[in-house]
Structures are given as C-alpha cells and as structure tokens.
Structure 1
Amino acid sequence: MLALLLRQSRRRMLVAVIASVLSGLCGVLLVAQINSALSADEAARTQLAWTFAALAVGMMITRALAAMLSEQLGQYALARLRHVIAARVMAADFRQVEQLGSARVQSALAEHSTNVAQFFVSVPAILNNAVVVLACLVYMALLSWQVLLAAVVVIGLGSLGYHLAHLRALGHLSAASVAQDGLFGYFRALTDGAKELRLHRDKRQRFLDDVLGQSIESVRHARATGMSIFVASASWGNFLIYAFIGLVLFVLVGDVPDRARIMTGFALIFVYMVTPLEVLLMNIPRANLARVSAARIEEITTDIGAETPAGRTAPTQFRRLSLQGVRHRYYHEQSDEFFELGPIDLAFSPGTVTFLIGGNGSGKTTLAKLLAGLYTPEEGTICLDGEPVTERDRDDYRQLFSAVFSDFHLFDRLLEAPGTASDEAGNRLLARLHLQHKVQVRNGAFTTQALSQGQRKRLALVVACLEDRPFLIFDEWAADQDPVFKEVFYHEVLPALREQGKAVLVISHDDRYFDAGDRLLRLDSGRLSPLQAAPPARAVLAEN
C-alpha cells in the first residue's frame, strides 16, 4: 500500500526529498561557517558573512518547500487511500461486505488512513534530520577520524538497542490496531443502540464500563506501551550521545594541534546534532505505525477480493426472469446450524405482483437477495430471458431491481437522476404518502431526514419508485405503517406498479391484503410452495 502511494506521488515526493536533503546540508554548513568564523581574521569574516547569509536563506526556502510538499503529500495520501478503500468496498461482493463488517471498514477509512497519511508528512523530517546526522559525522571525520570511530561505536550500540525495542513496540502497535477495529463497532453501537441503552440503566452502565470502556482501555494500553518503548529507546540514544560528548571533550581530544578549534567544532556539532537526532528517533515510530496501518488496510482490501468485472450494457427491461434449481447455504443463528435454502424453481414476468409469506427464519429475505443478485447461488442458475446470469454480468443484472429491505439505508439525496423532473415526481409521491408537510425534494436532495421509521420507509418507497426499475422488491415494507398507509401501499401503489408493467415481489404477513397480488407463495424451512395463482384472497380463506 505504501509502495503504491509512493509510486503515484513520486514526482512531488522526489522534490520534497531533494528539498529536505538540501535543507539538512545547509544546516550543517551553517554550523561549519560558525566554527570557522570564531577563529577567522577580519578579512575572512566578510566572505564568511555572505556565505552564512546565503546558506541561511537557502535553508529557510528548502525547509519551507519540504514542509509544504509533505503536508500536500499527506492530504493526497489520505484522500487517495479513502477513495481506494471506498471503491473496493463498493465493488466487492455484497456477502463479503457483510462478513467484513462496518467496524473494520470505518477503522480503515478513519484511523488507519490517517496514520498512513502522517507517514508522508514525516518523511521530509526523517530525511532532513538523517542528512543532518550523517553530515555531522562527516564533519567529525574532517576534525578527527579517531573521534569518528568512537562515534560509530556509540551509534552502533544505540541502533542495536533501538532495534530490539523496535521489535517489541511493533507487536504492541499491531495488537492495538486489531483491537481498534472492535472499538469502532462499539462506537457505532453508541448511536445505533441509543434507545435500548436509555431504556435500561444497568445495561447502559455495563456497556459503558465493561464493553466500551474495556475496549478503549485495551487500545490505549497497547498503543501507549508500544509508543513508550519507542520513547524509552529514544532516551537511551540521547544518553549515549551526551555520554559521547563527555568522552570526546574530556578524554579523546588530548593535547593536539589546533585543539581549541577542534573542541569548539565538536561542541557546536554535538549541540546542533542532538535535536535532529531526537526528531529522527521520534519520527521513526510514526513511520512504523504507518506501516502497521498500511498492512491492516491491505489486509482489509484483500479480504473483500477483486473488483467486480465490467459486463455488458445494463438491461432496462425483461420478458422472463427465472430461478432454476437455486440453492444457498448460510449459518442460521436460531437453530445454531447451517440453513439450506432451496432448491428454488421460480419465474417472474412483467406486470405481476407476487406475495411471499413464511415464518421468521424461513429464508424470505435471503431469497430476495438471491433474486436481486446480491447473493450468488451456490447451486442452480438465474436466467434472464433464457440466458444464464454469469459473474461477469451480475452487476448489470442487478440494475433491473429497486428494493426496500427491512434494514434499508436512506441516502440524503436522489443519487440516480437529480433534476427538476425528479423533484416534481418525488414531491407528487410524497403528497400521495402524506409526507409533503414533513419533507420535500429540492435540487435532488431531501430537505430533512429527521423522520420516524415509518416515515423513512415511505420516503424509501418514493426513492424506489423514482428509480423506475422493471423489478421492485419490498421486504416487510408495511410492517411499520399505519392502516391508512397500508391501504395506500396495497390498493394504490401496487396496482399502479402493475399497470406500469413492473414485476413486484412483496414479503408480507398482511393476509387481509393478499388480494392485491397475482399469486401467493409460502416459504417454509427453505422450501417454496405456491398457494394460489389468483385470486389469493380465496386461497387464504380456503387454507384457513
């Protein structure tokens, strides 16, 4: 993931790297100019002053350029990562997205992407300070190669300690990254479960203390431990530097020619090198944290598989849609075993309304998702006008459907066809469903979503109708509606859709309205059985 981002922004990164290197070199050269000026005569000081001024201006320009480019790179990386993750999630198989869970996706879009973006911000700082440290070592060699050998020994000891600490710290950071995915799920529960938490004080307190609180503490402890190890190792490195300074000043530099200039040079270079070394050591953990986050993002995007391949032009009509020997297996929580739906043999044609009934857990919603192409049959075939629907054209096939599932999501605007015509048609439907005083469609967007669940379902019905697809699926749509709106749905909306030539599947338990359909199907334990072709009302009476 990091390699991909680096390739996509290589030009800007190259300029930032060059600017960072030049800034570091200017800084070290400034120290050398200061050391030379301390022992230079009056004639040489004038030339040194101009050189000093040029280096100071150069360092200012290159450091500012590197900082600005690094911020731009960070924002680009964050935006690009979020776009890639969102695109992969939208292109993935729906069942894979269900299994992945929203918490891991939210964690990748928020925390992990931000950590990776921070790495791009810190790259110029790492390079700048690394160049300063290396240039300082070169300057030490010019002053005294014996002292340089001692410096290499000290840096080697510091690097070994830092590497051992680095391995332990990364383990804690990885554990924090995994725990954070679960934490995002609990964050969502704060709002999704707001009603239940407020109705039960003990449940609310237990969730806060034992569930959410422990998850927050788990992430805090793992991350704090990992970063503390990095800080401790950085402090160890700083101690070695100051110990080395004392060793050089009081032991290594003896009675040698030009001793004052060498001592002054070492003192200046050490004082100047300590801060860049601290910054370098403190930025390395950020880079490691970015690496962990990038690995989590790559793991998530790998789990959801490749993008859906492009297919033919999406169909806008059909003559016959059939399920032939379709089977599907999934884990059934109520029975704690795998549930098998099918074999299903079923056909639909335009201008027909089909009612599907059955007990809870009988597989009605799963059948609707199979029919709409959201799930892939494990056995059997879905045929459109006699042609099997393959993986290549499954996304095109899904464009035949509009659906309002029981767990529907309502977007804040009409994403499919915004415009004046859709505004007018949407407002007419809102008036028909008695929502005109609550919400309006303006410029393709809804004026509010602060509605009850029943009102939101009516709004979702408006969206489904405006999409004007040839096949509509309603999963327990009327369950949250008042009797007056049930009448409108069953005796006005469904007949109007039939007259428009739409195929409609209605999952419902409202037996008093079954006369609005053309046929009635029952699903029991994954097995489908027709009750009556028409009229359904007499079939229900006969069954009773």
Structure 2
Amino acid sequence: MTKKASQTAQPHGLGEKLLRLMASGNRTKQKARDFRLVRLWSSIGKPGLVNLGLIAILSATCGTVVLFLLNAEAREVEYHGYSRLMAFGFLLLLIIYRWAQNYLIREATQSIETALHDRRLATAEDVLNLSLEDIQTVGLRNVMDGSDTHYSSLSQTLVPIIAGAEGLVLLLFMFAYLLFLSPLAALLTTVVVVLTVAGFLTSRGMLDDDMRRATKAEEKYREITEGLVRGAKELSLNPARRRDFQTDVQNRSEYLAQGRGNAAAHFAGMLATGNSASYLMAGSVVFIMPLISQDSSADISRIMIAVMFLLGPISAVVQTFQQVTTAQYALSEIDAFQERVAALSARREQDTSTEEAESFQSVELVNLCYRHGGEQGFAITDIDFLLTRNEIVFMTGGNGSGKTTLLRVLTGLYPRRTGDIQLNGAATPLYQQQSYRNLFSTVFADFHVFPEPYGLDEAGLKRFEHWLNELGIRDKFGPDLRTIDPAALSTGQKKRLGLALALAEDRQILILDEWAADQDPETRRRFYREILPGLRDAGKTILAATHDEQYFDCCDRRVHMATGRLNLEVNDEPIQ
C-alpha cells in the first residue's frame, strides 16, 4: 500500500489490522504474510482488536452458559422441578449473546469498510496522478477492477467471515464445556475434527486454484458482454459478426461455468465433509462411548445436547472457507494494483496546484520524440514546432499520422522521450507541472462527458451557458447546468458540449482534435468563419487538427503530419 494510503488509513487502524489478518493466510505471498503477521502481533494489544476480542469472548461465554443452563434445567425438569432464576438467566444471557454477536459483526465490518474506503481514496489519488500514458499501460479493465470490482467482491465476504470467526470462538468455548462434561467425548470429537481439518487443508489448495480460474473467467466474460451494449449497432447490421460474437460469448460462458462448477464442486465436498463430520461426532458419542466407558451412559443426553450445539458453530466455520478464499484473492489483487499504481505515481512529483499558468507567449517543441509501447511502437520523431500567442494554427495529416499523439505530448498528457518543451523560452520538466497543463483547454476526439461540469465556479458556469447558447444546444439542458445527461445528446452535440466546457475554462490555449468532423455544414461554417477568429481576437491561441480543406484559409498557418514527422512548410494547395 502507498505511503499516502497508510497515512490516510491511520485513524481507522482497526480495519487495516483486520484486513491484514484476513490476508495472512494467503500462501501466494509468504514474505508479505509473515510481515503482516509480525505487524499484527505487535499491535494486538491495541484497543481496537482487544475490544473486539473481548466482545467475541463475551458472546461465546453467553452462548456456552446458555447451553449449560439448558442442560441444568432439563435435569431439573426431569426430577419434576422448575427454576425461575434459570429461566430469567437464560433469557438475559440470550439477549446479551444476541447483542454481542450483532455488535461484533457490525463493528468489524464497518471498520473494514472504512479501511477499504481509505484505500480506494488513496488509490484514486495515485491514479489521478498518473500520466495518460501510464493509465493506458495499466489498462482500463485493470483500473476498473482495481478501483471497484475487487472491492465489491471483498465486501460481500465480510459478514460471513466475521460471523465464522465468532463461530470459531464459540466452538472453542463449547468444546471446553464438552471437555468438562466428558473428556472421552471431547477426545472423540477432537479426532473427528482433526480428520475433518486435514481433509479441508487437502481440498483448500484446489479450491484456491479453482476460485482464481473462475475469477479470471468471469473477467473475460464481463469483457465480452460489454459488446452486447457498445456494439449493438454493428451486431444488428452484420449477421456473420453477430454469429461469431455469439460463439465467443458461448465459449467464454462455458469456460466460466466450468470454473465456477469446479470451485462449487470442491466447496460442496468441503461442506459435505463438514456436515458428515457433525453427524460423525454425534454418532461417536452414541455408538462408541458406551463401548469404551459404561460410566458415561447416565450423562449421554447432556453430552448429546452439547454435541448438537457444536454443529452450528462448525457449520459457520466450514462455510467461511470459500469466503476467506474469495477475500484473500480480492485482497491480493487490490494490493498488487495499489503497488503497481503507487510505483508509477512515484516516478513523478504529485502536483495538484490550481494556480494559473504564467502569461503565455510561446511554447516551442525542440527535436521532440515520443514512442508508443516500446521500441516497435509508433513514434513521432524530430518534432520542431513553435506555437505563439494569438494565432490560429491548423494541423493536417492522414489518420494514424501522429496528430493526436503530438497534441497529447504538447499538453503534457504524454511524457516526451527525448527533446525539449520550452515555455516562453524556458525548459519544462519531463512530467509537466499542473501550472503548465493549466495553459490548455482541450476537446480530443475521444473526450469523456462527465455527469457534472466539474471545476467550474459561478463565473465559469456563466461562460458555459453563454457558449451553450452560441453553439445552439442550451435547450438540451434544464435550468440547473450542473447536471449533464450524455445519453440525451447526439455525437455532434456532445462535441459542442465539449467545446462549451473547454471555453468555459477560459484557458490561454485551445486544443481541438477533429472537432468539426461531426458537425452539420452551418455549424462547421460558423466554427471556422466566426468562432475561431473571434477567439483569436479575444486573445486565445488555437491549435486544431482538421481535414476540412475548404476552410484552410481560416488559419494563420498550417502544419502537416505524415508518418510521425511534422512538416512546417505547407502551401495552400489541398493535401492529397
């Protein structure tokens, strides 16, 4: 876990201790397990765990004494007696047992959920500190799983695991009572339990492996099912594509069913073993004890009641095994994701400054190079480019020529590999500071529409409303501009929304990536002939990637990208 996560989680140390305790059984990380256990042992005396331990002991004590009172009152009734004091004590202890059990589960789960909340926040902070390149390297699915999905899986296991832990304490106390009633019965029960645990440990490794395979299969199936929604148009229009897609869905679903079926089979075996062991315990008392000791016959009914009461805690503990396996897998994935994101985030100094950038006069790229995905990836190379204040620059080039990559390096979303970026003649760092990124407002071709206009104050909202009116989509929003429904907008309208948001930020440089491609002819004309010149006259600098040849005369100059290189000498003839 990151340093920030540890610091954030400090006020809720109990939850972190409980998480480390759950993770301590993960055999895939022996060193990490030993480290966690040492830290847990060193902090076991601190109030949080001691309080929960005392509550668990109180719950187990009450449950055991309830059993004792039942046996005692049964004997009293057998001799035609009745004790109101025992009846009152039974009800009182039952209430305390119920309260203690509820308190233990509630406090433990709430503490763990608070610790998970702190982890999520710390991880989100690290993800927000990553460059776009880092996020794309980690992968969208991994970010979603590491930030949400694994947390959901873990949360679903908390109540059964805490209940199973409480059941284990109760089991120990009731076993002590059974030992008091009959050492022989306790010995027979111990033999059965030892054999059962040995069977559990043998099956545990196979269950762990099956759970991991099932989880991976679930991730793959979830990935393909996104196509049911996102690719609905393409699937409806192409029967062959739909048929192949259905085949892929079927194959992945079969793999998922097989993985879950194998895990369920192993767990069913463990559960059946636990249930059989329960009956075997009772059978050993009824059928074996009389053969070994005749003295125990008089107490056989009391011993049987004690053995039958053991069945509940044993069942709770057995059913916890699968939940513990799921929790440990989710925790290991969360830890691995946190470590990976923290390592990437540590490469750059965190910078969330909201201070405005210095007055922009020029941004210059000097012999700049950037390469995607290692030595064999696409690269932009030997880029020399000067962007000055109050000008409109068009960037042209075919698809895949490197326009978007260059724009992302220029704005600090990608860290350059070699070369320099100079702001007003001064060199800037490899990972650009927020004050540099504050120069730019952008509308990339793949821009995301958030559900709210984050980052806009009241003045920004007024500018936002002005540009919504200018772009002809104000009627798409209600009186409250703080709520945005992307589903209610067409592709072109989403682009207009993106431009309105970018202009509402009131930054010095506007970066546009094929903005006009989805606009109707009249909007496109107004954009090139009126909006862009008006922005330049208002002091803005515009760098726009475009294919609209009929409007090349609207820029102050034009540069051209081809196969990762930038040509600064471009005539006014249409580009082929």
Provide the TM-score with structure 2 as the length reference. Answer: 0.85
Q: Distance in 2 between matches of 1:281 and 1:512?
A: 74
Deviations 1:502-533 (A, max 9, x none): 2221101112211221211111111111125x
Change (3 A) 1:350 1:182: farther
Is residue 2:441 matched to residue 1:402?
yes
Residue 177 in structure 1 maps to residue 215 in structure 2: yes
Q: Give identity over the alignment, percent.
A: 27
Using the TM superposition, give the Cα deviation of residue 169 of structure 1 relative to its aligned residue in structure 2, in angstroms. 0.8
Which sits farther off after the overlay, 218-227 or 443-452? 443-452
Verify the 8 A CA contact 2:282 2:308 in the aligned structure 1. no
Q: Distance in 1 between matches of 2:377 and 2:293?
A: 86
Q: Deviations over 1:230-255 (max 9, x none)?
A: 22112112212322321222222455
Amino acid across the alignment from 1:285:
Q
CA distance in 2, matches of 1:543, 1:161: 74
- Report deviation, 1:479: 0.9
Do the aligned partners of residues 296 and 258 (structure 1) sit closer, same or farther apart at CA in structure 2, a change above 3 Å counting? closer
One of 329, 332, 340 as aligned partner of 1:292:
329
For residue 330 of structure 1, what is the aligned residue in structure 2?
372
Counterpart residue number, 2:257: 220
Task: Name the CA shift for 1:198/1:70 in 2 (closer, same or farther; >3 Å).
Answer: farther
Deviates more, 1:361-370 or 1:40-49: 40-49
Q: Tell me if 1:470 matches 2:470.
A: no
- 2 CA distance for matches of 1:57 and 1:445? 49
Alpha-carbon RMSD across the aligned residues, in angstroms, is 2.9
- Aligned equivalents of 1:531 and 1:167: distance in 2? 67
Give CA-to-partner distance per residue, 1:153-192, whole Å, 9 cap, x none: 2211111110111100111111222233333322332222
- My pick for the range that moved more, 357-366 or 119-128, is 119-128
Q: Report the 3-state secondary structure (helix = DSSP H, G, I; strand = E; otherwise coil) of the residue aligned with 1:327.
A: strand
Distance (whole Å) between structure 2 residues aligned to residue 123 and residue 473 of structure 1: 52
Shift of the 342–441 alpha-carbon distance from structure 1 to 2, 3 Å rule, reads: farther
CA distance in 2, matches of 1:500, 1:454: 25
Gaps of 5+ in 2: 18-46
Q: Tell me what 2:362 maps to.
A: 320
Partner of 1:522: 560
Q: Which amino acid aligns with 1:365?
A: T
Contact 1:165–1:229 under 8 Å retained in 2: yes
Q: Provide the rounded CA distance (Å) in 1 between the counterparts of 2:574 and 2:207.
A: 72
Take 1:418 and 1:185, find their aligned partners in 2: how far apart are those partners? 38
Please, which of 9, 13, 31 is the counterpart of residue 7 of structure 1? 13
* Residues in 1 aligned to 2:325 and 2:73: alpha-carbon distance in whole angstroms: 41
What aligned pairs does 1:37-52 form with structure 2 within 5 A after superposition? 37-40=73-76, 45-52=83-90
Once residues 361 and 144 of structure 1 are traced to their aligned partners in structure 2, the CA distance between those partners, rounded to angstroms, is 81
Aligned-partner Cα distance in 1 for 2:558–2:338:
42
Aligned residue in 2 for 1:513:
551
Report the equivalent of 1:535.
none
| Matched residue, 2:66 | 30
Partner of 2:422: 383
CA pair 105-384 structure 1, distance change in 2 beyond 3 A: same
Mapped partners of 2:453, 2:344: distance in 1: 28
Matched residue type, 1:7: G
**Alignment-derived partner of residue 137 in structure 1:** 175
1:81 CA drift (Å): 4.9
- 1: CA distance, partners of 2:73 / 2:491: 78
**What residue number does 2:402 align with?**
363
Q: Does 1:243 align with 2:280?
A: yes
Tell me, in whole angstroms, the C-alpha distance in 1 between the residues paired with 2:244 and 2:479: 42
- Give, in whole Å, the separation in 2 of the partners of 1:16 and 1:514: 73
CA deviation vs aligned residue, 1:241-287 (integer Å, no higher than 9, x gap): 322321222222455446422x1222011111112211111122112
Going from structure 1 to structure 2, the CA distance change for 1:44 and 1:291 (only over 3 Å counts) comes to: same
Alignment deviations for residues 4-53 of structure 1 (CA, whole Å, 9 cap, x no partner): 77835367776555434322221122111211222247889344334323
Are 1:329 and 1:340, in contact at CA under 8 Å, matched by a contact in 2? yes
Matched-pair contact (CA < 8 Å) for 1:440–1:447:
no
Instruction: Summarize the Cα distance change of 1:238–1:24 in structure 2 as closer, same or farther, 3 Å threshold.
Output: same
Match of 1:500 in 2: 538
SS class of match (2:419): strand
> CA, structure 1 residues 441+351, in 2 after alignment: closer, same or farther (shift >3 Å)?
farther
Q: Which secondary structure state, in structure 2, belongs to the residue aligned with residue 442 of structure 1?
A: coil
For residues 328 and 181 of structure 1, what CA distance do their matches in structure 2 show? Answer: 32
Tell me the secondary structure at the aligned position of residue 410 of structure 1.
Answer: coil
Name structure 1 gaps, 5 residues minimum: 533-538
CA apart distance, 1:441: 6.1
Q: Distance in 1 between matches of 2:69 and 2:448?
A: 66
Query: 1:445 aligns to what SS in structure 2?
Result: coil
**CA 1:237/1:412 → structure 2, altered by over 3 Å: closer, same or farther?**
closer
Aligned residue for 2:449, secondary structure, equals coil
Deviates more, 1:508-517 or 1:137-146: 137-146
Task: Report the CA distance between 1:395 and its aligned residue.
Answer: 3.6
C-alpha distance in 2 between matches for 1:219 and 1:502: 55
Q: Quote how far apart the aligned CAs of 1:423 are.
A: 3.7
In the TM superposition, residue 393 of structure 1 has moved relative to its aligned partner by 4.6
1:178 and 1:395, CA in 2 relative to 1: closer, same or farther beyond 3 A? farther
The residue type paired with residue 342 of structure 1 is T
**Letter in structure 1 aligned against 2:198:** L
Contact persistence 1:17–1:127 (CA under 8 A): no
Distance 2:281 2:478 in 1: 74
Q: Quick check: 1:21–1:127 contact (8 Å CA) kept in 2?
A: no
Q: Which moved more, 1:39-48 or 1:322-331?
A: 39-48
Deviation at 1:80, TM superposition (A): 4.2
Contact 2:235 2:242 in 1 (8 A): yes
Taking a change above 3 Å as real, the CA distance of residues 212 and 229 of structure 1, as seen in their structure-2 partners, is: same
Quote the Cα distance in structure 2 between the aligned partners of 1:195 and 1:13: 55
Choose the corresponding residue for 1:270, options 303, 307, 312: 307
Q: Distance in 1 between matches of 2:95 and 2:232?
A: 58
Amino acid at match of 2:367: G
Between 181-190 and 249-258, report the one with greater CA deviation.
249-258
Find the counterpart in structure 1 of residue 270 from structure 2. Answer: 233
Give the equivalent residue in structure 1 for 2:198.
160
1:240/1:405 Cα in 2 relative to 1: closer, same or farther (>3 Å)? same
In the superposition, relative to structure 1, how do residues 169 and 255 fare at CA in structure 2: closer, same or farther (>3 Å)?
A: closer
CA distance in structure 1 between the partners assigned to 2:84 and 2:14 by the alignment: 47
Q: Residues 13 and 73 of structure 1 are in contact (CA less than 8 Å); yes or no, is this contact kept in structure 2? A: no
Which secondary structure does the structure 2 equivalent of 1:402 belong to? strand
Is 1:479 the counterpart of 2:517 in the alignment? yes
SS at match of 1:531: coil
Paired residue secondary structure (2:372): strand
| Paired residue type of 1:506 | A
| 1:194 equivalent in structure 2 | 232
State the Cα distance separating 1:125 from its structure 2 match.
0.4
Partners of 1:31 and 1:141 lie apart in 2 by 14
State the number of aligned residues: 532
Task: Name the CA distance, whole Å, in 2 between partners of 1:355 and 1:119.
Answer: 56
Which deviates more, 161-170 or 404-413?
Answer: 404-413
5 Å-filtered alignment, 1:57-72, equals 57-70=95-108, 72=110
- Structure 1's 337 and 364: CA in aligned 2 closer, same or farther, altered over 3 A? same
Instruction: Find the counterpart in structure 2 of residue 437 from structure 1.
Output: 475
Answer yes or no: is the 8 Å Cα contact 1:107–1:184 preserved in 2. Answer: no
Query: Paired residue for 1:541?
Result: 573
1:310 aligns with 2:350: yes
User: How many Å apart are 1:126 and its aligned residue?
Assistant: 1.5
Measure how far apart 1:392 and its partner are: 5.9
Q: Residues 50 and 440 (structure 1 numbering): CA distance in 2 closer, same or farther, change over 3 Å?
A: closer
Provide TM-score, normalisation by structure 1.
Answer: 0.89
Q: Residue 135 of structure 1 aligns to a residue in which SS?
A: helix
